[in-house]
Amino acid sequence: MVSQKVVVKNPTGLHLRPAGELCKEAVKYQSSITFAFKGGTANAKSVLSVLGACIKSGDTIEFVCEGEDEKEALKAVVEAVESGLGE
């Protein structure tokens, strides 16, 4: 299991479009990919789960990846968030 914290930089947080981009990146990997935020956990492969977390700009989330390609998965989702998820 590997984990890393990242700050969401999108000015409008993780609304539908960036949530979809995050999920699109996460489903490329076999590992389970979740993130922790304010005491809760969300599945990064589910758009509804990501939207339900209500992530705003400037919030810090911690990705947790577990599985055979966990290191690659963690690097990819962290880079996706840091790059602004297409916004």
61-79 pLDDT tens trace:
999 999 999 999 999 999 9
18-58 pLDDT tens trace:
999 999 999 999 999 999 998 899 999 999 999 999 999 99
DSSP string, 21-51: HHHHHHTTSSSEEEEEETTEEEETT-HHHHH
Instruction: Indicate whether 86 pLDDT > 80.
Output: no
User: What pTM was estimated for this model as a whole?
Assistant: 0.91
Q: Residues 65, 33: contact at Cβ < 8 Å?
A: yes
pLDDT of residue 58: 94
pLDDT of residue 47: 96
> Which is catalytic among the residues 15, 24, 47, 49?
15
| 82 contacts: CB under 8 Å, gap ≥ 6 | 6, 9
Active site residue 15: yes
